[in-house]
Amino acid sequence: ESIRKTKSGKEIYVSIKGYPIKYKGKQLGVYAIYNDITVRKKEENKIKYLSFHDQLTDLYNRRFFEEERDRFDNSRELPISIIVADMDGLKKINDNYGHKKGDEYLKMIAEIIENSVREEDIVARIGGDEFAILLPNASKKVASKVEKRILTKSKDKSKKLKEPISISTGSATKNRSAESLEEVFKIADKRMYENKESKRE
């Protein structure tokens, strides 16, 4: 399978079958049959995209996040940080304004987080109102800066909304190879819930 250009310059996906052309035991060339498989390849790419992305926010999904977390767990490039972020009050918005409005807020939060991270960071929606960020080569200080940007941008956005946006975050950092990113995630998640609970006091 490959990509070829038509006479008009349009790129299409093709499957190629080649057969040798022989004469008196010598190969003179190759006879190739091209089949246009553009529609099939587009469907395959769509399925692949959906298997790793959240349909509501277009962020990566939990499956992709966990696969990348496990992949980076074997990396020698340290430190690696994880941020867990959770939307506060989604139930209240859903109850008062409906799930459609709740979805709009989740999309806004996804956008805020995406605009707060570095290009190399991996952002995923891992639950209903929960998001996670994997930050390669990021110290505790770098993770804290990203957290602050998320919280600042959410406050700025809230000024324009009838119902304010509130996000709770928590972060943790892997500094040694012996540490597990799964445990780092659990610590970040615990800190996020502690920050969320402190707002209710």
**CA–CA separation, 197 vs 195, rounded Å?**
5
Let me know: does 86 contact 130? Beta carbons within 8 Å. Answer: yes
Residue 156 annotated in active site: no
Residues whose CB falls within 8 Å of the CB of residue 97, separated by 6 or more in sequence, listed in order: 163
Residues of 23-54 as b/e, b for ≥16 C-beta within 10 angstroms?
A: eeeeeeeeeeeeeebeeebeeeeeeeeeeebb
Which one of 36, 129, 156, 189 is the catalytic residue? 129
The residues annotated with a catalytic role in the active site are 129
